[in-house]
Amino acid sequence: MPISEYKLCVFGSGGVGKSCLTMQFVQGIFMPKYDPTIEDVYKKTVEIDEKQYSLEILDTAGTEEFSAMRDLYVKNGQGFVLVYSITSQATFNDLNEFYGRIMRIKDTELHGQPPLILVGNKSDLEDERVVGREVGQALARKWKSSFLETSAKDRANVNEIFFDLVRQINRSPNIASSRSQTKHTTHENASTSKARMLSNLPSKNQSDSQKHFRKPRSGKCIVL
């Protein structure tokens, strides 16, 4: 069965939970300790709507000093996750710049809007909420994007982010037909489930369908 390979990028300010959301999705773990990202790439094979996908997820740096590669990420990316924290108005406001940059680089006038999802993370911290759900919904309506509130800590709506993005890519004729690469695999899929992980192994025992590459400060990627 052919397997589609999609490249997804996760953007947003420092500390909003980009890495935690990605790690929850790929490895099923939550990291309480904050470790600012330079650049991490995760790979995961999933089954969505009875089809297999190899997802390459680029977890980017929220901190400005590490942001030089962002334009290249946008160029290569097929779907985008824009994350803010519901506990920080500044992180919500910051997304305008990320959005504007994606729209410019993707040349939306020519190619239409790329698949995009707006994510309000840390929904478990309701007591500290400063960005209302309806405010997030309104921005998503303006951007014509999907919207989810999530908690990486409680694993709430985490898979839904990536499944939604894959479905958007599939609906986007430019991308799904011309830019996704396919390769052949021997996996036979008899499942009727709509969307499920093909692997969810602990991080010490990563299979080929679940890899994590971390960019060290020297600039090369290594497999952990």
Ligand X SMILES: Nc1nc2c(ncn2[C@@H]2O[C@H](COP(=O)(O)OP(=O)(O)OP(=O)(O)O)[C@@H](O)[C@H]2O)c(=O)[nH]1
Structure tokens at 117: 């999802």
**Options 9-17, 94-102, 168-176, 209-217: segment touching ligand X (CB under 6 A):** 9-17
Q: CA-to-CA distance for 80 and 184, rounded, in angstroms?
A: 26
Contacts for 48 with CB less than 8 Å, ≥ 6 apart: 163, 166, 167, 194, 195
Q: Between 150 and 179, how does the x/- string for binding to ligand X read (CB under 6 A)? A: -xxx--------------------------
Q: What is the DSSP letter of 157?
A: S
- What's phi and psi for 138, nearest 5 deg? -65, -40
Q: Indicate whether 70 belongs to the interface with ligand X (CB under 6 A).
A: no
Q: What is the DSSP letter of 84?
A: E
Q: Shortest distance, CB of residue 184 to ligand X, whole angstroms? A: 34
Among 44, 53, 55, 62, binds ligand X (CB under 6 A): 62
Among 13, 24, 27, 37, binds Mg ion (CB under 5 A): 37
Q: Are 56 and 41 in contact (CB under 8 A)?
A: yes
**Options 30-38, 127-135, 142-150, 157-165: segment touching Mg ion (CB under 5 A):** 30-38
Q: Are 161 and 81 in contact (CB under 8 A)?
A: yes
**Options 11-19, 134-142, 161-169, 207-215: segment touching ligand X (CB under 6 A):** 11-19
Q: CA-to-CA distance for 29 and 111, rounded, in angstroms?
A: 36
- CA torsion 188-27-160-214 (nearest 10°) is -100
**Options 1-9, 47-55, 118-126, 175-183: segment touching ligand X (CB under 6 A):** 118-126
Q: Indicate whether 60 belongs to the interface with Mg ion (CB under 5 A).
A: no
**In the window 13-52, what residues touch ligand X (CB under 6 A)?**
14-20, 31-32, 34, 36-37
What residues line the site for ligand X (CB under 6 A)?
12, 14-20, 31-32, 34, 36-37, 61-63, 121-122, 124-125, 151-153
